[in-house]
Chains A and B, each alone.
Chain A
Amino acid sequence: MEAFLQHIINGVSLGSIYALIALGYTMVYGILQLINFAHSDVYMIGAFIGFYSARWLNVSDAPGYGSFFSVLFIAMIGCSILGFTIERLAYRPLRKAPKLNALITAIGVSLFLEYSGQIVFGATPQVFPNILEDSIVATFGEVRVTKFDATILITTFALMLILRHIIQHTKLGKAMRATSFNGPWASLMGINVDRIISMTFVIGSALAAAGGILVGIKYPKIEPLMGVMIGLKAFVAAVLGGIGNIAGAVLGALIMGLAEEFVVGYGASTYRDALAFGILIIILLFKPAGLLGKFTVEKV
């Protein structure tokens, strides 16, 4: 029983990181019907911005929430700018081109970021600076909640609340939902659709950066290809929940995190990566639009 509860805590913690990244995929897909393959590399850049800003702020050996939040903040701002720039330079010129062109461009941007990362940061893994020290914050019998897990959970939860508020209650969020329903109609309301698309990339990229920092503190080895597998899983999570659907992305990510944790916990860790795709295949067999999806996913 205790092991079971422990796995739940770990699984939710892992799942919430997947969720941060999955949200970016699903939001961009919802508005542009584009699978932004470069998103996972924005996450990687987020981790590296964290790495360098911790050095620059001189907090590499000063663990604490002050250091953690400053690094988190810088990475989120940095990735917002990166996401904005990617959309502006790579995707906007293709707005009127066939969808496949944008998709191939997304793969190109992804490879560009990965291999530029190898040139600039080096291909060997680096150790993420010690900006937060782990400890045990609560124990329930044998079940332990670590400071890392609590921080991951609270940070993602807070970010999701903010996101939810933006999407449900602000003018920007309403315009985002209107645009994702139908861009031309939104423009007839006076909504500047290009601006809404930019903002979607900005928000999604900031969330990915937060994911990068949280992974950095918990699994402190970062390298330029670190986004590939986690990005794929987050993407699977988004599809699982119904791509384009925000609640679906979070649900899909939690399922993925829990499933992976249980597979590893009960001794089949060789299959941890295969599992993601196994779940995907099974769910899509029964619900082709994903768990909460309503529309048929366009084939690419």
Chain B
Amino acid sequence: MSALLDVKNVRVKYGNIEALKGISFTVQSGEIISLIGANGAGKSTTLRTISGLLTPVSGEVVWQGKPIHHMKPHDIVKLGLLQSPEGRGIFANLSVLENLEMGAYTRKDSKEAITKDLENVYLLFPRIKERLRQQAGTLSGGEQQMLAISRALMGRPKLLLLDEPSLGLAPQIVETIFSIIKKINSEGTTILLVEQNAFQALKISHRGYVVETGEIVLSGKGSDLLVDPKVREAYLGG
């Protein structure tokens, strides 16, 4: 079976600095895949490249058999790849509802379908519903993360790209967010997750890749990586 997303030997540079030194991995339909690694390893750069914010100097990003690495970000969104970016990417000057509407920006289907998806989002995150009219910048960190994920869901993603959803959140909220990510996946959305919180990420992932200084150094099933001695030592505190 051909992969939903196939990242082939991608190299990305910021000026003279090589941030990705030939990264390859695949995402199959229905999976949760996590990229784990330390700060600065190149995880966010990978997501930014997949979404078209960065262009690789060599290598390919292939989506359902078609190369997309020269496409503009807004066209990639139309293919069904939606990202909740690093730092959540909330439009603080827009209301919560307007943020959700931006997630559905490219959709051409009926208003009813969008309203129905809004209802689904409220089911996942009841707190979002209470804050619809509020400026998004006034939300707490956890609520902003919920909004960022909800907003990406409003675009009906085939692949949901999540960049550090646990960053800066209290432990209980991290638990909630991860259980919801799992739920979203069980309802049929494929997920590519980037995390420093290796334990939480691997626990819900089908497969994982360990990224170090722009390269993939290890890969395997989520459950295998969780017990891998090298992973335990480097990312799970021994």
B197 interface residue (CB < 8 Å to A): no
Interface residues of B in 13-38 (CB under 8 A from A): none
A175 with B74, Cβ < 8 A, contacts A181-B92, A181-B94, A184-B53 known? no
The number of residues on chain B lying at the interface, defined by a beta carbon within 8 Å of a beta carbon of chain A, is 24
Residues of A within 8 A of B91 (CB): 177-178, 181-182, 185-186
Listed residue (A175, A192, A193) with the most chain B CB atoms within 10 angstroms of its CB? A192
A189 interface residue (CB < 8 Å to B): yes
The number of residues on chain A lying at the interface, defined by a beta carbon within 8 Å of a beta carbon of chain B, is 18
State whether B98 touches A188 (Cβ < 8 A): no
Closest partner residue, chain B, to A178 (CB atom): B91
Interchain nearest-CB distance for B154 vs A (Å)? 9
B85 interface residue (CB < 8 Å to A): yes
State whether B94 touches A188 (Cβ < 8 A): no
Q: Return the CB mask of B45-68 against A: 1 if under 8 Å, else 0.
A: 000000111000000000000000
State whether B94 touches A187 (Cβ < 8 A): no
Main SS of chain B's interface residues? loop
Q: How far is the CA of A190 from the CA of B74 in the complex (A)?
A: 4
Residues of B within 8 A of A177 (CB): 91, 93-94, 98
Residues of B within 8 A of A178 (CB): 91, 94, 102
State whether B74 touches A187 (Cβ < 8 A): yes
Interchain nearest-CB distance for A162 vs B (Å)? 19
Q: How far is the CA of A6 from the CA of B198 in the complex (A)?
A: 71
State whether A189 touches B93 (Cβ < 8 A): no
Interface residues of A in 131-155 (CB under 8 A from B): none
B101 interface residue (CB < 8 Å to A): yes
Q: How far is the CA of A174 from the CA of B74 in the complex (A)?
A: 16
A189's contact among B52, B72, B103, by CB below 8 Å, is which? B103
State whether A188 touches B51 (Cβ < 8 A): yes
A188 with B53, Cβ < 8 A, contacts A174-B98, A178-B94, A181-B94 known? yes
Interchain nearest-CB distance for A164 vs B (Å)? 15
Knowing that A177-B93, A182-B91 are A-B contacts, what are 18 other residue pairs whose CB atoms are under 8 Å apart, sorted by A's residue number?
A: A175-B105, A180-B93, A181-B92, A184-B53, A184-B73, A185-B85, A187-B73, A188-B53, A188-B73, A188-B77, A188-B89, A189-B74, A189-B102, A189-B106, A190-B74, A190-B106, A190-B155, A193-B74
Could you tell me which B residues sit within 8 Å of A by CB distance? 51-53, 72-74, 77-78, 82-83, 85, 89, 91-94, 98, 101-103, 105-106, 151, 155
The 6 sampled A-B contact pairs (Cβ below 8 Å) are A187-B72, A187-B77, A188-B53, A189-B103, A189-B105, A190-B78
